[in-house]
Structure 1
Amino acid sequence: MGNRLSSEKPRLLWLSHFIPYPPKGGALQRSFNLLKEASRYFDIDLFSLVQKFPVEENFGSLEKGLEICRKELSKYTSSIEFFPINAEKKGPNKALTAIKAGLSLSPYIEYWLSSDELSTRLLEVGSGGKYALVHCDTVGIARYASKLVSAKKILNHHNIESHMQYRRAKGESNIAKKLYFLLDAMKISYLEKRYCHEFDLNIVCSDLDGERLSKRLHVNTHVVPNGVDTEYFVSSDGESEVKDSLIFAGGMTWYPNYQAMEFFIKEVWPILKVKRPTASITIVGRGGEKLRPVVGADSTISLTGFVDDVRPYIERASVYICPIFVGGGTKLKVLDALSMSKAMVAHPIACEGIEVEQGKNVELAQTPEAMADKILYLLDNPEVRGRLGRAGRELIENCYSFRAVGDDMAERYIGLLGERG
């Protein structure tokens, strides 16, 4: 159980499909910071599924990881309960789970996140009127929120999952995988249609995601953008840039990151190396060894794996690259790099939902040739890198601080309590 003293704040149940700690990249970073900011306004109980692999990878063992996560999250919650995922009780097996999901009526994200223990626990608390609000962190566990009949319900969308899966299917060359992803996208689309209307509010990461959801389903949406801890992600001027060096930060266990770096290494890197033999790149994030067959013996490409602190790596690089061309939501890695005043070359899709401007705070490129040329341009012009970096930091300070994001989210949540129905 958590240790934070209860208060007169409205009670909020936070349903999560992963333990929102540590705040190291992507959805983890968003969920942790939103929970942290919400704790200033609400008395929070956290019910979280346990995805074993990231906990074990981050902390060395499941038991140690659960202990540390409970201790850290107790700073922002009144109680914490962890629940096993059915598909992981005998150990994670994504391939087997994917096959079983494919043969079921459920999409992968719903089938995989099934938990008998969580379902039973919510039946126990569902009709007691204990909670004023329920925050459900993904559509994959939306069915559980329906058990809490008296609370106002909010559904968080890290991405519009159906749209992202349709994009994945479109870009897949393997016909069997393409058909699987297409069928899964159709299932997710039905899941969204079934459950999004049951929630009083659907929160999205960007206006674009809001349009994608509301245009199709006509549901109540509110933009809660991804943000940055601007006091943490700030340039310290303590690291000297390494000449002609690039960086990408993101785990290769998430397929948009892997596809982006596979594309970059195969298509952009050869062009760049011909024109700039001294160029080097560091790829930071868990699962980096998945890229080893693509990297081969190239010693100018460094795969670090997971690191506890990505900031020194970003500071040492001359240019941050983000060639992501699939996915949805907004990319926290882009916000983090901008917050650290780092000049960036990115694919336009990587910056969807973020108010960047070409040539002002980012350089955008889609083709391998254009991406290589933009990188070379920045490597050759340190004054341009500095100007882009300063403008990027200014954008983050003005629009994407998690404190301001949390204030706006809490105001909207509190507003739900005064609405009828």
Structure 2
Amino acid sequence: MADGLPKVMQVEPAPRPFSIALAYSRLPLPMTRADQMTVAHLISFFAARGHNVDFYALDNGEEIGPAHRQWLEDVCRSVHIFPHGPVRRLMGVMRGSLRGWPLQVGLFSNAAQTRAVREGLADVDIGYSYYIRSAETMRSLGRSRARISGPVTFLAMQLSQALNTRRMAEHFRNLKEKLLYSVETRLVRNYEPRVWSDFTRTVLIGQQDVDEIAAACRDKGLPEIDNVVFGPHGVDVDRFAPRDDVEEEPFTLVFNGVLRTYTNVHAITWFAANVWPLIRAGESRAKLLIVGRDPRPEVIALGELDGVTVTGEVPDPADYIARAAVCINPVQVGAGMQNKLIEFMAMRKAVVATTVANEGIRATPGDHLVIADDAQSFADAVLALLADPARRDSLAEAARNYILGHWTWEAHFLTLEAAMLAALEDSAPPQNALSSPQGD
């Protein structure tokens, strides 16, 4: 992925190709966010399997280079990009507020995209909306509980935004941010238990997300969500692989992530304030590398601490992960899954993480990684691993094998494709209707 493009999927052409309209709230390239990485790799998978993709994306001001644009043109049947600047975003929020939509749904509402998607659905087998931000582009148009005609439609919620925003609201100290996310939590918790039933299938990452939406359904007196397909992210196990060319540093910890997002900023500042002093007290040779793009000022300031280096953006985070004796994921807020965790594990690294970080991964504590949720237990876990190379090695080996068995892009997307084909077959006319003789 040195060229910034998703990996070419190692799959055979599909025996039954289909056509799909994919709606997304931003451009998938360059892949600077986890959702962009997922969408770009999903498109790559569809292309490798021979499916026809009509792609509908918003341009929120991201800069897409010629090579990235050409890649989209090469792998999709058609590419439709809609400008979505500040004025359109403001209009979307205003329109959404009148309809009771979550702020994020209104923010990414684009009338031109919605019209194009709705017209395009007539020419495809499957519609696929990525995130609830794109749900309104094809809501209620496909086969669902209330509708037996139209294409099969998938809503890739991925995570419960209600769970995500509620956790963030609980941790914010800034009153303005706490209020904003509290309002969004209320709006999303009203939206999620209703929108799922307007699609043929709903894609979610983990059981905790299903449970959150099911609870909201019960609270609202609505039918409980029952059309779930599990569709987590994956990892490029060729890029994120054990490295013989980089020497492991026996007392180095690594944290990696986009360092402007609240979840990552909260995680690493909490760790630095509460866990790092305990680790340094127990092992003065310990070093911490904080790796990632766009570090906020409070993250940059951590570089002043003894033993801590903040790298900022680097050409390839894998070069730094390879140096780690232990990788850490102290994330405490958010929902869904943590890409950094499966990247660490794919690189055959011993990992200490929180319960929240592991929710979507479902690795077995003690076998594939170590789970710790408070400062003292987190520090104790790290210190124990730094002092025990054999334990680190056994955890790392189990982690890599777990990822190879469960978390490759190809494995997850083949499962998703099977769910798509099953949905097409479930909603097809009965065989006797197809073969009934014509009247005289």
Name the TM-score, length of structure 2 as normaliser: 0.83
Which sections of structure 1, spanning at least 5 residues, go unmatched?
Answer: 1-6, 56-61
Q: Is the 8 A contact 1:146 1:198 kept in 2?
A: yes
Deviation of residue 97 (structure 1)?
9.8
Deviation of residue 143 (structure 1)?
0.7
Which sections of structure 2, spanning at least 5 residues, go unmatched?
Answer: 1-14, 143-149, 218-223, 429-440
Q: Provide, for residues 307-365 of structure 1, a one-character-per-residue CA deviation record: whole Å limited to 9, x for no partner.
A: 33211110011110000011111111111110110111111110002231222111111
The aligned counterpart of 1:395 is: 402
**1:212 equivalenced with 2:220 (yes/no):** no
Q: Is the 8 A contact 1:203 1:223 kept in 2?
A: yes
**1:49 equivalenced with 2:58 (yes/no):** yes
C-alpha change, 1:292 and 1:322, in structure 2 (3 Å) is closer
Equivalent residues, number: 399
The residue identity in structure 2 corresponding to 1:19 is L
The aligned counterpart of 1:70 is: 69
Residues in 1 aligned to 2:157 and 2:236: alpha-carbon distance in whole angstroms: 20
Deviation of residue 298 (structure 1)?
2.5
The residue identity in structure 2 corresponding to 1:70 is R
**1:202 equivalenced with 2:202 (yes/no):** yes
C-alpha change, 1:102 and 1:345, in structure 2 (3 Å) is farther
C-alpha change, 1:420 and 1:292, in structure 2 (3 Å) is closer
Q: Is the 8 A contact 1:155 1:201 kept in 2?
A: yes
Q: Provide, for residues 11-30 of structure 1, a one-character-per-residue CA deviation record: whole Å limited to 9, x for no partner.
A: 10111112223445522222
The aligned counterpart of 1:131 is: 124
Deviation of residue 283 (structure 1)?
1.4
Q: Structure 1 residues 352-361 or 206-215, which shifts more?
A: 206-215
Deviation of residue 274 (structure 1)?
2.1
Q: Is the 8 A contact 1:266 1:294 kept in 2?
A: no
Residues in 2 aligned to 1:394 and 1:288: alpha-carbon distance in whole angstroms: 32
**1:332 equivalenced with 2:339 (yes/no):** yes
C-alpha change, 1:290 and 1:191, in structure 2 (3 Å) is farther
C-alpha change, 1:297 and 1:262, in structure 2 (3 Å) is same
The aligned counterpart of 2:250 is: 243
**1:253 equivalenced with 2:260 (yes/no):** yes
Deviation of residue 292 (structure 1)?
4.1
The aligned counterpart of 1:59 is: none
Within 5 Å, which residues of 2 pair with 1:37-116?
Answer: 37-39=45-47, 40-52=49-61, 55=62, 62=63, 65-87=64-86, 105-116=100-111
**1:278 equivalenced with 2:277 (yes/no):** no
C-alpha change, 1:67 and 1:165, in structure 2 (3 Å) is same
Residues in 1 aligned to 2:153 and 2:421: alpha-carbon distance in whole angstroms: 12
The residue identity in structure 2 corresponding to 1:169 is A
Q: 2:114 aligns with which of 105, 111, 119?
A: 119
C-alpha change, 1:25 and 1:343, in structure 2 (3 Å) is farther
What is the SS of the residue equivalent to 2:426?
Answer: coil
Q: Structure 1 residues 7-16 or 338-347, which shifts more?
A: 7-16
The residue identity in structure 1 corresponding to 2:134 is I
Q: Is the 8 A contact 2:117 2:137 kept in 1?
A: yes
The residue identity in structure 2 corresponding to 1:131 is V
Residues in 2 aligned to 1:119 and 1:409: alpha-carbon distance in whole angstroms: 24
Q: Provide, for residues 65-121 of structure 1, a one-character-per-residue CA deviation record: whole Å limited to 9, x for no partner.
A: 2423222233431121211224266xx99xx99999889944221122122331342
Residues in 1 aligned to 2:328 and 2:96: alpha-carbon distance in whole angstroms: 35
C-alpha change, 1:117 and 1:101, in structure 2 (3 Å) is closer
Q: 1:269 aligns with which of 276, 285, 288?
A: 276
The aligned counterpart of 1:58 is: none
**1:21 equivalenced with 2:29 (yes/no):** yes
Deviation of residue 306 (structure 1)?
2.4
CA RMSD of aligned residues (A): 2.7
Q: Structure 1 residues 16-25 or 197-206, which shifts more?
A: 16-25
Q: Structure 1 residues 247-256 or 290-299, which shifts more?
A: 290-299
Residues in 2 aligned to 1:293 and 1:146: alpha-carbon distance in whole angstroms: 43
Q: Is the 8 A contact 1:342 1:389 kept in 2?
A: yes
What is the SS of the residue equivalent to 1:359?
Answer: coil
The residue identity in structure 2 corresponding to 1:130 is D
C-alpha change, 1:375 and 1:100, in structure 2 (3 Å) is farther
**1:10 equivalenced with 2:3 (yes/no):** no
- Percent same amino acid at aligned positions? 23
The residue identity in structure 2 corresponding to 1:110 is V
The aligned counterpart of 1:141 is: 134
The residue identity in structure 2 corresponding to 1:204 is L
C-alpha change, 1:97 and 1:266, in structure 2 (3 Å) is farther
What is the SS of the residue equivalent to 2:310?
Answer: strand
C-alpha change, 1:169 and 1:151, in structure 2 (3 Å) is same
Q: Provide, for residues 209-268 of structure 1, a one-character-per-residue CA deviation record: whole Å limited to 9, x for no partner.
A: 233334544221011122222222111211001231111111122211111011011111
C-alpha change, 1:216 and 1:166, in structure 2 (3 Å) is same
What is the SS of the residue equivalent to 2:304?
Answer: coil
C-alpha change, 1:122 and 1:153, in structure 2 (3 Å) is same
